[in-house]
Amino acid sequence: MNQSYPAFVSFHSLSNCFGYAKLLTAINATNALSSVNEQFNGPLLGSFRMRSCDNPNIYCDLQLFGQLPFTNVFINSVFAEVSGFQERQEVILEKMNCKTYCSYIEVAPRTDNDYSVIAQSQASIENEFLNQIRLVSQNMIIPHFLSPGVYVQFRILNIVPATGSSVVLNNNTELHVQTVVEGSKSDEKANMAHKVSSIVQDLSTKGFLSNYVVKLEKSPIIGRVLPKKIVMSWVNEGLEQLDKNTIYIAGRDNSPYPEHGIVEVRTRTKGEREEHIQFYYLHRTTTTSITKKTDKLNNSLSHMFDSLKLENRQHCVDGSGSLEPYVNIKMYSVPESRICTLKFCDVMIDKETLTWAQEFDMTKLLVKSIQNQLQGNPFILSVRGKELDVPLIDKAIRVKLYPSIKGLVKRWTEDTCFLLEQTTQLVFRKAAEPKLQVAEPEVPTRRRKRKDHSDYLEHSKPETSNNNHTENFGLLQTEEFVQIGSHSKFLSELDKICREGKQHVMLLGGNGYGKTTFVKKLAHRLAYNSSATFCKVIPCSLLKGRSADVIEKLLTESFSELELKKPSCLFLDDIDVILPQIDQEQRHLAMEKVVSVFSRKLRATGVTVVLVAQRLSTVNEGFVEQVMRTRPIVSKKIELGPLTKYC
């Protein structure tokens, strides 16, 4: 049985890479953490892998001394930094059964500066190495302290016997520090140092990139993007902590810590055939209680994802706000071979702004402003680049970042994910000016212009968000409505029908009976139910007099959007205005076409449609015959009585 212990990281000032376990209570925690003369002792508890709760891909192996139980693990601050840990960070310590002893180990310096120090202190390093560390693994980064204030960093290059797990060093282990041959010329020494540094840098990059690989239990994971209003109704605090480059979804079952990595996201919006491909960070929340109680954002997201569940899909939160709400996105894991760290990045700015920045020496401020936004995760770029608003003094400058192939060692393709980090050198360039298109002169015509479908959309399109996405009709409503009395007994029944999306409903009620209020109440309830149903309304009175072709085009576009955003519901208000009862003795070809369009669309769609009319007798007889009698597709009829009778 695996033994795991939650703890918090604390720092000690000892010059070694061992860990010390201590139990700190609420009374002595402050004094113990601030004491620089703290004595660490106790028996060896064993070999442990210390793993970050925030990102399980960040871990280090160490030997732990002390006693059980414990709340804090004290490690050297330099060792913590090179391993990716911070003070007071929550970690999980997983006990390992390490019985393999190392007979030979080869280490190399990480940088040229480390190399120059090692060349002068190799003998002392070999004598003191085992006093500072006893547990190592392949590609591990470790500091070695020459004195309390001086240290160098090593990368473990080779271990004998070769193994993928950690090994224990003992007095019989042979240590080899990779260095140049004594007596070589200074230029040869410099070349060798550069080669060694390059090798280690490549290994460091490889280890760094592995932190951004997340393994998905199935490929792809399909997520439905939740709108901001829904997220705000669940996440009361911590909403500002959402990262603009991250998508948040529920974690695996019984996951003790969040998962974090890069995913490829494919989306398709209304009217598009090809999928858009973008890269995002994926954050999967914890699903167990082993997490910080103060992590209100994670707790709120976990509760929301647990409450808003879908079949064969998951709800997700887009931190950037660039993805269209309610659409389904496909998320694929990105292997390490497709992730590449940039050494150079082109920053494209329009000619006028670039001239101004260079003239007044503002490029340094631009670089600093961009780097300030890299304090968290690196920027993720595709070959198509990324637009970014860079704050500068009293304004923001829009730039576009493009990956540069200069200095890249790894082979890249159209599907490569590029990382722009703090060490990436930014190169400012003038953005290409768009080609001017010469407009052809308009030829006057005597043909009378007839209002078409686009004119109708211009005057009757619903409210949209800042990103020009269609707003959910249910989210536009508030709860401060006139009371609907006993009409409310139908809400639960219709809520279930609309979520299943397999039936159509006819809602009847005379003037003043509260049909409009009831529809708003129902849409509001659907928008905030466990399926976060997307609702859309079409006021049919605005379609009166339109041709069958215009109506068919509108219905086709509406059903196409609703299919992409399922579960969804369409309200056809005042259906009896556009499909009125007419004299059966006379044929109305135009009306027959409209009836045919509505019946065909209702029969073909998998979206629930609520048809609102005054009375069944006011609706076109041919339409009623087709959808409710001959081959019924409207399976539910609800008649609302007057409000005064029920209130």
Q: How far is CA 499 from the centre of its chain?
A: 26
Mean pLDDT of the 624-639 span: 83
- Euclidean distance between CA atoms 534 and 527, whole angstroms: 6
- Euclidean distance between CA atoms 274 and 639, whole angstroms: 44
Mention every residue, 6+ apart, whose C-beta is less than 8 A from residue 240: none
Q: Which amino acid is at 167?
A: V
> In CATH, what is the architecture of 4-96?
Beta Barrel (2.40)
Mean pLDDT is lowest, of 47-56, 195-204, 567-576, for 195-204
The more confidently predicted of residues 189 and 115 is: 115
Residue 428 has pLDDT above 90, yes or no: yes
Q: Identify the pLDDT of residue 83.
A: 86
- pLDDT band at residue 545 under the 50/70/90 scheme: confident
Annotate 542-560 with b (16+ C-beta within 10 A) or e (fewer).
bbeebbbebbbbbbeebbe
Q: Identify the pLDDT of residue 116.
A: 66
Mean pLDDT of the 391-413 span: 85
Classify 338-430 by CATH class: alpha beta
Residue 128 has pLDDT above 70, yes or no: yes
Q: Identify the pLDDT of residue 633.
A: 84
Q: Identify the pLDDT of residue 402.
A: 93
User: pLDDT tens for residues 491-500?
Assistant: 888 888 877 7
Residue 209 has pLDDT above 70, yes or no: no
The DSSP-derived string for 186-232 is HHHHHHHHHHHHHHHHHHHHHHHHGGGB---SSSSEEEEEPPHHHHH
Tokens of 542: 């605005």
**Quick check: do 4-96 and 104-211 share a fold?**
no
To which CATH superfamily is domain 459-646 assigned?
A: P-loop containing nucleotide triphosphate hydrolases (3.40.50.300)
Residue 486 has pLDDT above 60, yes or no: yes
Q: Identify the pLDDT of residue 326.
A: 93
Q: Identify the pLDDT of residue 374.
A: 76
Q: Count of CB atoms within 10 A of residue 216's CB?
A: 16
Mean pLDDT of the 605-610 span: 89
The answer to whether 598 touches 555, Cβ cutoff 8 Å, is yes
Treating both helix axes as pointing N-terminal to C-terminal, what angle do 112-132 and 186-209 enclose, rounded to 10 degrees? Answer: 70
Residue 381 has pLDDT above 80, yes or no: yes
Given strand 150-160, what is the order of strands in its sheet?
141-147, 150-160, 104-109, 174-177
Q: Tell me the percentage of the chain whose pLDDT exceeds 90.
A: 19
Q: Tell me the percentage of the chain whose pLDDT exceeds 70.
A: 78
Mean pLDDT of the 553-572 span: 90
Which burial class, exposed, middle or buried, applies to 47 when counting CB atoms under 10 A from its CB (0-12, 13-18, 19+)?
A: buried
Residue 28 has pLDDT above 80, yes or no: no
Classify 104-211 by CATH class: alpha beta
Q: Identify the pLDDT of residue 630.
A: 73
Residue 543 has pLDDT above 70, yes or no: yes
Mean pLDDT is lowest, of 350-354, 419-423, 561-565, 588-592, for 588-592
Adjacent-strand bridge partners of 154: 109, 142
Q: Identify the pLDDT of residue 440.
A: 46
pTM value > 0.75: no
Q: Is the C-alpha dihedral spanning 27, 30, 33, 36 positive or negative?
A: negative
Q: Tell me whether strands 246-249 and 141-147 are parallel, antiparallel or unpaired.
A: unpaired
- pLDDT band at residue 644 under the 50/70/90 scheme: low
- The structural domains of the chain, with segments of one domain joined by +, span 4-96, 104-211, 221-334, 338-430, 459-646
User: pLDDT tens for residues 243-253?
Assistant: 888 999 998 87
- Euclidean distance between CA atoms 22 and 439, whole angstroms: 77
Q: Which is nearest to 469 in space by CA: 539, 384, 387, 534?
A: 534
User: pLDDT tens for residues 440-457?
Assistant: 444 444 444 444 433 333
Q: Which is nearest to 534 in space by CA: 560, 492, 508, 565?
A: 565
The more confidently predicted of residues 226 and 640 is: 226
Residue 195 has pLDDT above 70, yes or no: no
Mean pLDDT of the 422-431 span: 89
User: pLDDT tens for residues 265-290?
Assistant: 998 776 667 788 899 999 988 766 54
In the chain, the N- to C-terminal Cα span, in Å, equals 64
